[in-house]
Structure 1
């Protein structure tokens, strides 16, 4: 995909059945980036969200599909709902909403998916680690989430994508807020566990979206997050594009 070509050019190679973490500070479009990526894959997906409502998730997907802003989509869902229903008919994402996320909820949704499709989903997404039951501030519970996510990937063969927070209080967060956080800024040190960890940041002034690979088990990575790829972000449409810098 053109939008991700800069990331792949850095040697990032996502693989089936891996555990992938997307980490960033608050307000950096982690969920939007993950949702855009997953929607672009168009694989059977279970997406567990404690952050978004069903309406927000539908609006974001409709924005991606139609190119309209989220505000336009929200208005259009009232005046012309059939248009947006058609726009979403080919989506392969099944959402599960509610906070906190529990493993019982995960088991039940997996059973329902297998019952309906006679197969496991190919992608399972969790938004986010700290929204699991008991994991908001408990390091032990957060590590348990990571261990369970790894077991889930091994048992189902699905690619498991987790979103997680980086510190907003570090010196870099204050001095250099528009660049991706380094690996040591990931809360709880959880970026060590997945096979692939991507650190993201959005510059609200230029809409540059920077993605750094801070951990990759079978490929290059940069724990400092200084070797980043640059995309262009449209936050109001939940869209990402190849970045072409304007030359005067």
Structure 2
């Protein structure tokens, strides 16, 4: 295939994903998530990686297949309803037992997110779920989220298997045009995790060095005292990035509603302690 023919055939695949208001600060820093790119969201335990992926895909409003090994069906559907209607997960849970439950069900009916549950995630499951999706909608989903990398069969602690999974996810993107979003862990050990736990981990803290494989890798952290949510771009194939994660965008998080909000167009830099 000549370079001219390749660009002609695949020019649509590289278009930017729909922008969402909450990511204004991130876009200002030159981050451009694109269709067909493999995207990683990495962070330490308890940093709302799943919440961010769910919020992001819900607000892009593209046909999405979400593989959840990290959340139960009840938790995932409750969090999605919560972010759609703007109520806490506790309010949604209580409301589902009352006469107003149709409000949540109607909101979910309008969502373009479909869930696939089960742990571990297997390639057989992925093939079957995507085949079923195509059978139902006569098209591939535009987004496929994997929550998370270490919940793939055999990948819990095996670096080689994690590399194999990432290669499979990359092949899925290249062969179908799907945009995969995969969640992954950063180390909770080490000096930086202890001294700067609320700052995004640098690229060398992402387990297995696997943040180097995707086209776009985002490192995230949540400050529980202020609810500032910090996102650093530690790898971007077609744009600026900072592997040290010392430059980051800041959002405001509402964990109990699985919502995130823009704080404005300010740029933020971590303290020199990083």
Normalised-by-shorter TM-score class: over 0.9
Query: Which of 93, 109, 124 is equivalent to 1:89?
Result: 109
Match of 1:78, SS? coil
Match of 2:209, SS? helix
Which residue pairs with 1:195 in the alignment? 215
Aligned pairs for 1:33-182 within 5 A: 33-79=52-98, 80-182=100-202
Aligned-pair CA distance for 1:104: 0.2
Query: Which of 13, 20, 29 is equivalent to 1:10?
Result: 29
Match of 1:95, SS? strand
The two structures, once aligned, show a CA RMSD in angstroms of 1.0
Match of 1:181, SS? coil
CA distance in 2, matches of 1:153, 1:235: 30
Match of 1:100, SS? coil
Aligned partners of 2:24 and 2:264 also within 8 Å: no
Which residue pairs with 1:239 in the alignment? 259
CA distance in 2, matches of 1:88, 1:170: 41
Query: Which stretch of structure 1 is more off in the superposition, 39-48 or 73-82?
Result: 73-82
Aligned-pair CA distance for 1:81: 2.2
Q: TM-score, normalised by structure 2?
A: 0.88
Match of 1:6, SS? helix
Aligned partners of 2:152 and 2:165 also within 8 Å: yes
Which residue pairs with 1:25 in the alignment? 44
How many residue pairs get matched? 245
Gaps of 5+ in 2: 1-19, 266-274
Match of 1:88, SS? helix
CA distance in 2, matches of 1:39, 1:244: 21
Match of 2:96, SS? helix
Which residue pairs with 2:15 in the alignment? none
Match of 2:231, SS? strand
CA distance in 2, matches of 1:48, 1:213: 24
Q: Which has the larger radius of gyration?
A: 2
